[in-house]
């Protein structure tokens, strides 16, 4: 909670109060949406206590709690339904990426770009202190998606992203687990939306305990990768038929 208050809030307040712009985009207001996915440790009450009185900062705060744990994907969908902005940023609350990099992430959302994803696996990105077994899963999955979808995109498993609102309005995703962010990105790319990468540093988790179930996550990715492969094969067959005809 302290990290969110001390590191996230000042960044968003700066955007809301002073505004932010790059060569093509301009932001003059901001909101923070907190989705508590069924916690039973008083997190929701602490969130409201820590941030509920900050509306004078120019930031709009929204809070929603799932009565039971529904999963990361379900929490993301809930957050998207509450989002009113033209640009939506998703962030991890566990300290794996620096909130201070949000403006730099947004700076990559230039004309012709619909999604910007932080990318620790980009040649200019890096990883610090993350357990090797998690990197094997994440890097391995991203490599497979590179082969199936877009070789020039290095990281497919990151949650730290910026989306144009059209993407989250038009691209649905079914996953309730940790596949959700990857599913959304891949389906958007297959529909023709364009993505850019922000080379980032992925840090070892500092707060809380990961709820990712490794076996379930691997199974989810394998199923989805099979679906993507089928889509690619169907596209190839359609192209062959068109050329024959």
DSSP annotation string for 136-205:
HHHHHHHHHHHHHT-TT---SS---EEEEHHHHHH------STTHHHHHHHHHHHTT--EEEEE-EEEPP
Class (C level, CATH) for 2-244:
alpha beta
Show me where the domains of the chain are located: 2-244
- What was the pLDDT predicted at 142? 97
Q: Are strands 115-119 and 195-199 parallel, antiparallel or unpaired?
A: parallel
- What was the pLDDT predicted at 214? 82
- What was the pLDDT predicted at 206? 63
Q: Backbone dihedral region of 147: left (phi > 0), alpha (psi from -120 to 50 degrees) or beta?
A: alpha
Residues recorded for the chain: 245
- What was the pLDDT predicted at 207? 55
Position 1 pLDDT exceeds 80: no
Rounded average pLDDT over 171-175: 95
- What was the pLDDT predicted at 120? 97
Position 77 pLDDT exceeds 90: yes
Q: pLDDT of 99-156, one tens digit each?
A: 999 999 999 999 999 999 999 999 999 999 998 888 988 999 999 999 999 999 999 9
The terminus-to-terminus CA distance of the chain in angstroms comes to 61
Q: pLDDT of 20-31, one tens digit each?
A: 888 778 888 899
- What was the pLDDT predicted at 210? 53
Residues 6 or more apart whose CB falls under 8 angstroms from that of 192 comprise: none
Tell me the CA distances in angstroms from 78 to 59, 81, 130, 136, 148, one per residue in order.
Answer: 19, 5, 28, 30, 29
Position 162 pLDDT exceeds 70: yes
Position 242 pLDDT exceeds 90: no
Under 8 Å between Cβ of 174 and 157: no
39 vs 196: CA distance, rounded Å:
34
Rounded average pLDDT over 156-161: 96
Q: pLDDT of 180-237, one tens digit each?
A: 999 999 999 999 999 999 999 999 876 554 555 788 889 999 999 999 999 999 999 9
pTM equals 0.92
């Amino acid at each position: 909670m302290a990290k969110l208050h001390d590191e996230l809030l000042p960044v968003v307040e700066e955007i809301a109060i002073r505004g932010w712009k790059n060569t093509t985009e301009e932001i003059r207001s901001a909101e923070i949406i907190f989705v508590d996915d069924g916690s039973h440790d008083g997190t929701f009450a602490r969130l409201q206590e820590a941030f509920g009185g900050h509306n004078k900062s120019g930031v709009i705060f929204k809070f929603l709690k799932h009565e039971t744990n529904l999963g990361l994907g379900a929490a993301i969908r809930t957050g998207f339904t509450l989002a009113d902005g033209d640009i939506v940023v998703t962030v991890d609350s566990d300290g794996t990426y620096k909130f201070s990099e949000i403006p730099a992430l947004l700076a990559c959302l230039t004309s012709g770009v619909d999604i910007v994803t932080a990318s620790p696996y980009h040649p200019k990105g890096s990883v610090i202190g993350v357990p090797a077994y998690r990197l094997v899963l994440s890097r391995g999955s991203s490599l497979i998606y590179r082969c199936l979808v877009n070789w020039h995109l290095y990281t497919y498993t990151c949650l730290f992203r910026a989306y144009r609102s059209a993407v989250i309005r038009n691209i649905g995703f079914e996953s309730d687990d940790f596949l959700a962010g990857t599913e959304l990105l891949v389906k958007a790319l297959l529909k023709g939306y364009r993505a850019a990468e922000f080379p980032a540093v992925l840090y070892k988790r500092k707060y809380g305990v990961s709820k990712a179930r490794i076996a379930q996550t691997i199974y989810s990715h394998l199923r989805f990768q099979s679906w993507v492969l089928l889509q690619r094969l169907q596209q190839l067959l359609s192209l062959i038929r068109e050329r024959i005809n």
